[in-house]
Amino acid sequence: MNEQKKRILLVSCFFYPQNRIPVLRIGQWAKYWASQGHDVTVLTTKKYDFMGPFGLEADLPREVTVVEVPCLPSWLQRRLKRRAGADQAPACGAKGANAEARASALKKNVRGLRRYIGSMLDIHDLWVAPAYKAGMRLLAENRYDAIVSSYSPPATHVVASKLKKKHPDLVWFADFRDLWVNNHITSAQGIFKKFESAKERRTLHGLADALITVSRPLAADLQSRHPTLPVWVIENGFDPQEFPTWMQSVSAGPRLAGNITICYAGTIYPQRRDPTPLFTAVNELIDAGLISPDKVSIEFYGQNERELNDIIQRTYANRHNIIKIKGFVTRQASLEAQRKSNLLLLLESGEPRAKGMLTGKVFEYLVSGIPILAVGIDNTHAAGELLEKTGTGFCSNDAEELKGLLLAAIEFKRFNFYKPHKDLIAKYSREKQAQSIIDRLAAFQGAASC
């Protein structure tokens, strides 16, 4: 371990108090770097209402300084403020509903557009110029050792690239929680793909010192496009301070008392993160009289209620009233719901481009002490491989196989696949991951001084 104090500029559009999974990766790196004795400055966007949901409390040491920079011009901020005020005026029941419907329709339209233009024309592009200016001021005031930027959106890497160009002695690590080019949800098409690829290459080439990503498949994709750059896999992980008793939880060996409560906490993407096979399995067991509808419950926590309802209505999935839509809740409420469940549901796309997806939610599940059911993927997927390796989960997209799994669990009062390996789970501690980045930074600086 290198004991020399480092000063790190962390560039991320996502940060506290946004209640979003990406915040945890960046926020917990900042937390542990500071706890390890380093100075951290977070350059992030000013948080507007449309960037919610909010409510995620930061637990950051005083060595972490957060600099928020507006991404919207003042005239647009005023216009949004006036519109928000109009929507919240007295007798706002209908207006509030209309505003919510407009926002939902806008998000749906943007998602549709993203299937063609990918990451191009993102609102955070407006943040690049003011963030670069703020970053240059910070670099003039203090000596920094490194910049660490985290995608998405592209603006984070663009800002870091511009700062590195002006300060070539800095080490720049570009983190990819998701892929920029070849993203399985928002991959550009046609001419936009060429623009997107050119922008990524122009941003990184000759400037980034190393790339970081969350899985081997994503690392292979990045390496194929940037063969001269080192690409490191630093998975998402869990905060050992947030889960202080995880070793005991994993050791407990959960037993079923009779009923099965299945919990999903996350986002729904129709035909990508889609629970339909599980709905089919449970409903067919009830139709056949093999289980009683009051013995099983599938609970959903998170946004995208409209998308979930569309799936339910299309498949007639709630004909036995087994699906409970809880909506968005605080992080603590979500974690509590997970602890009280008997089976945690993980949804991911089985398409080839999604094989490297390894969301932070998986690692919360790992340390919960609750068995995990992954629907939509198999063990060739990064998440499926992780569940199999740690002995914490089972993958299936087949309704008949899922029926057998549930019936066996009811009969034996346990999920027989759950045989967790604590030593393997422990390596995904955010504290250890944060230290590994510092070690690599020290190695880069040592090599440069030779």
Tens of pLDDT, residue by residue over 193-209, are: 899 999 999 999 999 99
Q: Is the pLDDT of residue 391 over 50?
A: yes
* For the chain, percent of residues with pLDDT exceeding 90: 67
User: 225 with 302, same domain?
Assistant: no
Q: Which of 38-47, 228-237, 265-274, 289-298 has the lowest mean pLDDT?
A: 265-274
- In this model, does residue 92 exceed pLDDT 50? no
In percent, how much of the chain has pLDDT > 70? 89
- Do residues 345 and 444 share a domain? no
* 309 shares its domain with 176: no
Q: Do 307 and 209 sit in the same domain of this protein?
A: no
More confident: 52 or 217: 217
Do 253 and 365 fall within a single domain? yes
In a domain, 444, yes or no: yes
Same domain, 159 and 207: yes
Residues 152 and 259 in one domain: no
Look at residue 97 in the predicted model and tell me its pLDDT.
Answer: 43
Quick one: average pLDDT of 311-335? 92
The region of weakest confidence among 110-124, 199-213, 360-374 is: 110-124
Cβ contact 382:356 at 8 Å:
yes
- Structural domain including 181 reads 7-73+120-237+429-449
Q: What is the pLDDT of residues 291-304, one digit of tens each?
A: 999 999 999 998 77
**Residue 110 confidence (pLDDT) above 90:** no
pLDDT score at 365: 95
Using alpha carbons, select from 397, 377, 399, 404 the residue that is nearest to residue 388: 377
What are the backbone angles phi and psi of residue 298, rounded to the nearest 5°? -115, 115
- For residues 371-381, give the mean pLDDT: 94
User: Any bridge partners for residue 297, and if so which?
Assistant: 261
CA distances from 166 to 67, 132, 161, 207, 292 (A): 20, 11, 9, 10, 67
Q: What is the pLDDT of residue 4?
A: 86
Query: Do 209 and 293 fall into the same domain?
Result: no
Taking only the tens place, the pLDDT of each residue in 123-132 is 899 999 999 9
Question: What confidence score (pLDDT) does residue 40 get?
Answer: 97
**pLDDT digit string, tens, across residues 327-352:** 989 999 999 999 999 999 999 988 88
Better pLDDT: 93 or 361: 361
Q: Can you say whether the dihedral through the CA atoms of 184, 185, 191, 193 is positive or negative?
A: negative
Q: Where are the beta strands (DSSP E) in 122-170?
A: 146-151
Residue 57 is part of a domain; what is its CATH number? 3.40.50.2000
| Whether 219 and 279 share a structural domain | no
411 and 303 in a common domain: yes
> Across residues 109-130, what is the average pLDDT?
79
- Does a structural domain hold residue 442? yes
pLDDT at 2: 43
- Compute the average pLDDT of residues 244-267: 87
Residue 285 lies in a domain: yes
Cβ atoms < 10 Å from Cβ of 184: 18
- Give the total number of structural domains in the chain: 2
At 136 the pLDDT is 98
Are 40 and 141 within one domain? Answer: yes
Is 436 found in the same domain as 422? no
Q: Is residue 2 part of a domain?
A: no
pLDDT for position 107: 57
